């Protein structure tokens, strides 16, 4: 088994793989000040409480957009799990190409999405990743990252709106009953949710027009994909853990294992658990 870590600015998603199968997954808050020992205790607890044997973990794979946490996760892997760690970033020797002006600035999560798209779908794809930021990755079927769009994330944008206004309350991000809100809370909820949906559809339409590919595959991933993407007209499928699968595929490539997946992953066998 291997553990993969997708470290974002707000949340870290952890996946446990046996071969190409995602056995379990956890979503935890990213704490920039977290120590090696705190990380080790948390990871060991998550794995044990889910009924898995820590001794069966053979490696970890890390994609991080939080530089201070990367070496701590590597050290945690060595000290608390006793296994080596692979760090996936723009310098990794992977069967993809970063066809952009500054390839070393491409985030590790976008690199993982690129290798996942090439291995799983093998088709030109827009990967819409809904996390702290909402990113649109333009990826060819043979693994070329062409660039994309980085937009404010849905939750971060909503929190900024509430912080900058004196009377607007915090609201849950959920699909409202209708467009027209009849009180402040429902009006705000409608505006946040439908603005996100409209922004995704609008940006995807513009990418398709510029790329001149009206039939291109659009895949939504990330923590909010299951909530928002079903309301988007342009999204073809939802793969919440595309990045995790990309990290598992990267691990197999780095260590000489089979590098393709014949069947694309479905939704995870269990709902994500907050911690």
**Does residue 109 carry a catalytic annotation?**
yes
Nearest CA among 200, 219, 156, 158 for reference residue 11: 156
Cβ-contact 224, 157 below 8 angstroms:
no
Find the distance separating the first CA and the last CA of the chain, reported in whole Å.
22
Cα–Cα nearest to 134, from 212, 194, 210, 203 = 203
Contact 178, 190 (CB under 8 A): yes
Nearest to 115, CA basis, from 85, 84, 94 = 94
Q: At what angle do helices 242-254 and 108-120 cross, to 10 degrees?
A: 80
Indicate the pairing of strand 11-18 with strand 2-7.
antiparallel
**What residues form DSSP beta bridges with 147?**
138
Buried b (16+ CB within 10 A) or exposed e, 57-77: bebbbbbbbbeebbebbbbbb
Among residues 109, 124, 129, 137, which one is catalytic?
A: 109
Point out the residues that are catalytic.
Answer: 109
């Amino acid at each position: 088994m291997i553990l993969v870590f997708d470290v974002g600015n707000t949340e870290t998603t952890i996946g446990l793989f046996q071969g190409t199968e995602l056995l379990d997954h956890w979503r935890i808050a990213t704490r920039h000040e977290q120590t090696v020992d705190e990380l080790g205790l948390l990871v060991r607890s998550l794995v044990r409480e889910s009924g898995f044997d820590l001794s069966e973990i053979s490696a970890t794979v890390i994609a991080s957009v939080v530089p201070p946490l990367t070496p701590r996760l590597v050290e945690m892997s060595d000290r608390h799990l006793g296994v080596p760690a692979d760090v996936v970033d723009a310098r990794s020797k992977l069967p993809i190409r970063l066809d952009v002006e500054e390839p070393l600035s491409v985030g590790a999560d976008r690199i993982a999405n690129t290798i996942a798209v090439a291995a799983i779908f093998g088709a030109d794809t827009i990967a819409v990743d809904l996390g702290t930021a909402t990113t649109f990755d333009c990826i060819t079927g043979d693994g070329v990252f062409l660039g994309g769009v980085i937009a404010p994330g849905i939750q971060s944008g909503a929190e900024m709106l509430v912080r900058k206004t004196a009377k607007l309350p915090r609201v849950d991000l959920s699909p409202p009953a209708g467009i027209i809100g009849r009180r402040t809370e429902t009006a705000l909820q409608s505006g946040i949710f439908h603005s996100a949906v409209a922004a995704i559809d609008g940006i995807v339409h513009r990418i398709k027009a510029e790329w001149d590919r009206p039939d291109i595959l659009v895949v939504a991933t990330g923590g909010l994909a299951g909530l928002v993407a079903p309301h988007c007209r342009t999204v073809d499928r939802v793969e919440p853990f595309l990045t995790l699968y990309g990290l598992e595929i990267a691990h197999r490539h780095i260590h000489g294992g089979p590098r393709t997946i014949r069947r694309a992953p479905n939704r995870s066998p269990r709902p994500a658990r907050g911690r």
